[in-house]
Homo-oligomer: A and B are copies of this chain.
Amino acid sequence: MTVVQISRRERKKLELRDRICDETARLVARHGVEGTTIDAICDCADIAKKTFYNYYSSKHDLLIDICQSRLLNRTEQMVSAALTRTSRLDEGIDIVLSEIAANNRRAGKLEKQLIDYLVANMGINRNQGADQLSFMNRCFLRFFSSADEQIRPGLSAAFCAEMTVGMVNTATLNWLHNDDYKLDLRLQELAEYIKHSMLVSASTTTQ
Q: Which residues of A contact B (CB under 8 A)?
A: 119-125, 131, 133-134, 137, 154-155, 159, 162-163, 165-167, 169-171, 173-174, 176-178, 186, 189-190, 192-193, 196-198
Please determine whether B163 and A190 come into contact, CB atoms closer than 8 angstroms. yes
Nearest CB in chain B to that of A160: its residue: B193
Please determine whether A162 and B170 come into contact, CB atoms closer than 8 angstroms. yes
Please determine whether A123 and B167 come into contact, CB atoms closer than 8 angstroms. no
Contacts of A123 in B (CB 8 A): 119-120, 173-174, 176-177
Please determine whether A196 and B193 come into contact, CB atoms closer than 8 angstroms. no
Please determine whether A159 and B193 come into contact, CB atoms closer than 8 angstroms. yes
Query: Counting chain B CB atoms within 10 Å of each CB, which of A134, A167, A176, A186 scores highest?
Result: A167
Please determine whether A177 and B120 come into contact, CB atoms closer than 8 angstroms. no
User: Given A134-B177, A162-B186, A170-B170, 19 more contacts at CB 8 Å?
Assistant: A120-B121, A120-B123, A133-B173, A133-B174, A133-B177, A134-B178, A137-B174, A154-B192, A159-B189, A159-B190, A162-B174, A163-B193, A165-B170, A166-B167, A166-B169, A166-B170, A169-B170, A197-B197, A197-B198
